[in-house]
Structure 1
Amino acid sequence: MDRFDIIVIGGGSAGSAAAGRLAEDGTRRVCLVEAGGSNDIIRVKTPGFMPFIPKASNYRYDTVPQAGLGGRIGYQPRGRGLGGSSAINAMVYIRGNAFDYDQWAELGATGWSYADVLPYFRRSEGNERGDDDFHGGDGPLNVMDQRWPNVTSRRFVESAASLQLPRTPDFNGAQQEGFGLYQVTQKAGERWSAARAYVEPLRGRANLDIRTGALVEKILIEDGRATGVVIRRGGKRETLRAAGGVILSAGAFNSPQILMLSGIGPAAHLRAHGIGVVADRAGVGANLQDHIDYVSSWETRSTEPFGDSMGGTWRMLKAVVEHRRKRTGILTTCFAEAGGFWTSRPGLPAPDIQYHFVPAMLEDHGRTKVKGHGFSCHACVLRPESRGSVTLASGDAAAAPRIDPGFLTDDRDIATLRAGVRMMHRIVGAPPLSDYGGVDRHPVDLEDDSALDALIRSRADTVYHPVGTCRMGSDADAVVDPALKLKGIEGLWVADASVMPRLVSGNTNAPSIMIGERAADFVKAALG
């Protein structure tokens, strides 16, 4: 069957939510098209195997050389396969700040204020703490407290408290600012991706066709309307037709890429790649924003943190056996176990720095092995001013897009990050974390702005939250309107982090799922 009511491109966080909600009542024929596989493997489903997730589940993109990072090429992991980045991430459940969504509404994304989006967050969430004014208790996305966090992570929270920084038991509740352990998207000791939440429960239904290993070459636009998609699968090209329309949910990098391959984007750029122009849209691929992040690590003589040693390896081997037998123990770790939100200066509407604490030493996104035991701490700029872009590197859909985040090209970002790094060192230097006597692997004179800036530029990179490349708004330059419909094209919606007008003050997985939930309602209303 190659004719459907709705085709959803991309089985990631938002795409899974949209497809699941549209298919669940059985009244619509839905096709979910995903370039990767099912991700139904141990290395994806076991939280502690996150460093060993296979290449088949991660696009592993690179950026162009970044002037703000001393010419370095950045690393951009992106989920591939059902679940998308929710199948490879640290599983941290954060929505952002109420201010973010109220700002979206003020910028022209009408109907996206915090009061508007909170019901969708609650509807998506099955929080094991139960439901309340901020949380849902019976939604498909299981959210839970960590049950076996490392003692080092608890010490980080206690060290922040020793500096009179507030403890926050719920970062998604009444107050975001403060420090604590993160809640995670897990269930019964396993990763609970968006696909496991929304798609897998419907697998086998006659009205839901899940096509994995299907690379989308372009969206078919006929007489100003999206009528289907052309895919490449198993070496063959296929055309799928959609009577109601198409939802594009391929993420902040691949959604603009697919639009451009379909003739929707900056006209001169499309012509330069030999692509016929269907709609001249300068905003497609523009407005890229990402959380620039600095991470440092400290080596300890204590073996309480995770580490590469004979004892550490033996502990992990025992943990593997325990997890395979009972789904319990330290392999349920999300690695970024603790963290917090901090306001770097007075007068800000919301915290502008987020910390992720990892009870292990990290180097180069975990791609470089570090001997010994220790811990790491990330500090990221929550609302960066720097802007970048996504453009085509090739007219081949299988080629990676050209990604230029423009990191630290606005001096306001490095000033904010500088303050965040200094507070990070204050927390690490306070008891009880300081009792470890950790040795800073990247020492610097914190009082010397020039030296600190040089260190930041030599080490900073993404913390994996790209957004904004198909911006939502009410102005003429916006790519999609507040109902997520692509402007000027009928039957085409975009639903993923690419539609965010501004980056949220926190991790982007939960907001992306919320966007997918809303997209399903918008499409239902449009189709009747």
Structure 2
Amino acid sequence: MTEEYDYIVVGAGTAGCIVANQLSADPRNRVLVIEAGGNDRWIWFHVPVGYLFTIGNPRSDWMFRTVEEPGLNGRSLAYPRGKVIGGSSAINAMISMRGQSLDYDGWRQLGLAGWGWDDVLPVFKRLEDHFLGESELHGIGGGWRIEAPRVSWRILDAVKSAAIEMGVPESPDFNTGDNEGVGYFHVNQKLGRRWSSARGFLKPALSRPNLELRTNVIVDKVVFENRRASSIELMVGGQRISVRARREVVLSAGAIGSVQILHRSGVGPAQWLRAAGIPNLVDLPGVGRNLQDHLQQRAIYKVGHGRTLNEQYQSLFRRGMMGLDYLVRRRGPLTMAPSQLGIFTRSDRFQDRANIQFHVQPLSLDKFGEPLHPFPAITVSACNLRPTSRGEVKVVSPDPDAKPHIAPAYLSTDVDRKVASDAIRVTRRLMAQSALAPYRPEEYLPGPNVADDDASLAKAAGDIGTTIFHPVGTAKMGRSTDPMAVVDERLRVLMLEGLRVIDASVMPTITSGNTNTPTAMIALRGAEMIIADNRP
């Protein structure tokens, strides 16, 4: 017999955990949530600095790669995605960042009713349990715990002073709707432990008898009856199993995973699907297009004075003291998010609002998964908050185990290359401020030999640029008149029934900052829409 549920949620990542929690709150709803990864029974999913060990590890990361990118001078990048309940919220930077009010007002101006800043701010507040307490901007009692960082570094204080000296205003809270300024990021942690979506939303709900979680299960495709999503097909131990949905199927597998499932289900650009050997059910050209991501230029500066994590980690004694500090007080470097200090500013004087974001770290390394450098250094990464480049994701065969084709098309527009060049100039100006003179910063990457002209700086950006892990937009929310739209403003897949996409892939344009918290907001709003639309 085929099993039946009212709702099937595909993906227990940031969005899926929240959707499953909300739908199962009504005991009349029988809910199944399916995760292709495993459980989070590993210490490095919970100790904040564990991202150094989870990113680039096949136990916790899907190990995707991009194609060789022309804008990156022919380089292919690792493209980390969480392979565990909690999804990427179990391995990410833990930075709680909403973006800017004009991001969401821009969505509303695209004709997407209910997605303006005034509409989503109450959703953010319902989501939160914020250390600042309840106010006009923040909420308490939600499942999304947000706290202040529990470690400090004098050299980051100096960088903060340098930004203020350069004219960037100080900001105690980046989540007011205008994030221009310099300050310390708020983080998804509780008392020094990572706070993933699984910890905040899924695990508390698993005691409900009407919610079932299945892990290590690959969803192959959605099956339709008269263009209504009626069931999903799973791959379990090499066998194909069908599970029926009485009401709706919700895809929450992320900007990469949801596209893969839609394509294998026959939903997407007909030409792409034919090339992959998949029959086309619904020709939706936007499925897999409109990929947007924040490209960071990881400038590294050696410092001749001051403490950084690089040299601290080289010492076994100091490493032991870090561990002791964490065990006793839940403080110190083991509580570190990858970036502690944030700077939001403008790449040039013609920008109408902050368009670049700096992630400043008291450490440096060639790439995640590799050792820290043996010399004292800091990383000053700048990213373009609103890139104009658009990439694509698509399957290459019907095989659910096949890796997808991921082509972000970084720096493929003149505008993005100009912003990247100017961002390096801003970085150099920041590091030349007198507040940093005692540390004698020395440019290691991109290197003092890189000239200051646009062509040289754009090439340098391509040499040092890497993803900051924010893929969005591949199942774009839009009006039916938008040829690239995949879902409507209630996140229902166009031309089909009983199927929604609720995750980062529905963003029509990327938000101006880290994308995990906006994804959580989309999940809560989407779940509330499902509940409202299915009331008797």
TM-score past 0.5 threshold: yes
TM-score, L = length of structure 2: 0.95
Counterpart in 2 of 1:506?
A: 513
CA contact (8 A) 2:129 2:141 kept: yes
Counterpart in 2 of 1:18?
A: 19
CA contact (8 A) 1:299 1:440 kept: yes
CA contact (8 A) 1:99 1:350 kept: no
Cα separation, 1, equivalents of 2:237 and 2:128: 36
CA contact (8 A) 1:422 1:446 kept: no
Counterpart in 2 of 1:35?
A: 36
Q: Which moved more, 1:295-304 or 1:39-48?
A: 295-304
Q: Deviations over 1:498-521 (max 9, x none)?
A: 100001111100000001001111
Counterpart in 1 of 2:472?
A: 467
Cα separation, 1, equivalents of 2:387 and 2:371: 27
Q: In the alignment, is residue 521 of structure 1 matched against residue 528 of structure 2?
A: yes
Counterpart in 2 of 1:79?
A: 82
CA contact (8 A) 1:306 1:312 kept: no
Q: How far did 1:347 drift? A: 4.8
> How is 1:358-373 mapped onto 2 (pairs within 5 angstroms)?
358-365=361-368, 367=370, 369-373=372-376
Q: How far did 1:413 drift? A: 0.4
Cα separation, 2, equivalents of 1:308 and 1:219: 51
Q: How far did 1:295 drift? A: 0.7
Runs of at least 5 residues in structure 1 that lack an aligned partner in the other structure = none
SS at match of 1:57: coil
Q: Deviations over 1:387-431 (max 9, x none)?
A: 111111222111211000011010110111211111112212224
Counterpart in 1 of 2:299?
A: 296
Q: Which moved more, 1:66-75 or 1:19-28?
A: 19-28
Q: How far did 1:343 drift? A: 1.7
Change (3 A) 1:237 1:190: same
Counterpart in 1 of 2:110?
A: 107
Q: Deviations over 1:331-358 (max 9, x none)?
A: 1110200011112234534311010001
CA contact (8 A) 1:154 1:181 kept: no
Counterpart in 1 of 2:391?
A: 388
Residue of structure 1 aligned with 2:499, choices 484, 488, 492: 492
> How is 1:253-402 mapped onto 2 (pairs within 5 angstroms)?
253-302=256-305, 304-308=307-311, 312-365=315-368, 367=370, 369-402=372-405
Change (3 A) 1:99 1:313: farther
Cα separation, 1, equivalents of 2:26 and 2:306: 52
Q: Which moved more, 1:322-331 or 1:309-318?
A: 309-318
Cα separation, 1, equivalents of 2:19 and 2:43: 26
Q: In the alignment, is residue 228 of structure 1 matched against residue 235 of structure 2?
A: no
Change (3 A) 1:148 1:11: same
Q: Which moved more, 1:101-110 or 1:477-486?
A: 101-110
Q: How far did 1:274 drift? A: 2.1
Q: How far did 1:298 drift? A: 1.5
Cα separation, 2, equivalents of 1:151 and 1:221: 58
Q: Which amino acid aligns with 2:468?
A: V
Cα separation, 2, equivalents of 1:372 and 1:309: 10
Q: How far did 1:475 drift? A: 3.0
Cα separation, 1, equivalents of 2:191 and 2:42: 16
Q: Which moved more, 1:192-201 or 1:358-367?
A: 358-367
Q: Deviations over 1:83-119 (max 9, x none)?
A: 1111111101101100000001111222111111111
Q: Deviations over 1:437-477 (max 9, x none)?
A: 12221223452333222211111121111111100011332
Counterpart in 1 of 2:8?
A: 7
> How is 1:69-148 mapped onto 2 (pairs within 5 angstroms)?
69-148=72-151
Q: Which moved more, 1:148-157 or 1:275-284?
A: 148-157
CA contact (8 A) 2:306 2:439 kept: no
Counterpart in 2 of 1:432?
A: 435
SS at match of 2:17: helix
Residue of structure 2 aligned with 1:156, choices 137, 141, 159: 159
Q: Which amino acid aligns with 1:2?
A: E
CA contact (8 A) 2:163 2:343 kept: no
Q: Which moved more, 1:310-319 or 1:37-46?
A: 310-319
Counterpart in 2 of 1:46?
A: 47
Q: Deviations over 1:5-43 (max 9, x none)?
A: 101011111111111111123231111100001113211
Q: Deviations over 1:230-258 (max 9, x none)?
A: 11123332211110111101111111111
Q: In the alignment, is residue 450 of structure 1 matched against residue 455 of structure 2?
A: yes
Cα separation, 2, equivalents of 1:207 and 1:98: 37
Q: In the alignment, is residue 407 of structure 1 matched against residue 410 of structure 2?
A: yes
CA contact (8 A) 1:335 1:359 kept: no
Cα separation, 2, equivalents of 1:117 and 1:240: 34
Q: Deviations over 1:164-203 (max 9, x none)?
A: 2110111001531010100000011100001111101112
Cα separation, 2, equivalents of 1:44 and 1:302: 33
Residue of structure 1 aligned with 2:210, choices 197, 207, 222: 207
SS at match of 1:31: strand
Q: Which amino acid aligns with 1:340?
A: I
Q: Which moved more, 1:44-53 or 1:361-370?
A: 361-370
Change (3 A) 1:304 1:44: same
Cα separation, 2, equivalents of 1:275 and 1:363: 40
Cα separation, 2, equivalents of 1:416 and 1:312: 39
Counterpart in 1 of 2:488?
A: 481
Q: Which amino acid aligns with 1:27?
A: R
Q: How far did 1:369 drift? A: 4.2
Cα separation, 1, equivalents of 2:400 and 2:152: 42
Q: How far did 1:310 drift? A: 6.9
CA contact (8 A) 2:312 2:319 kept: no
Cα separation, 2, equivalents of 1:106 and 1:81: 36
CA contact (8 A) 2:89 2:196 kept: yes
CA contact (8 A) 2:361 2:379 kept: yes
Cα separation, 1, equivalents of 2:337 and 2:436: 20
CA contact (8 A) 1:342 1:354 kept: yes
> How is 1:161-176 mapped onto 2 (pairs within 5 angstroms)?
161-173=164-176, 175-176=178-179
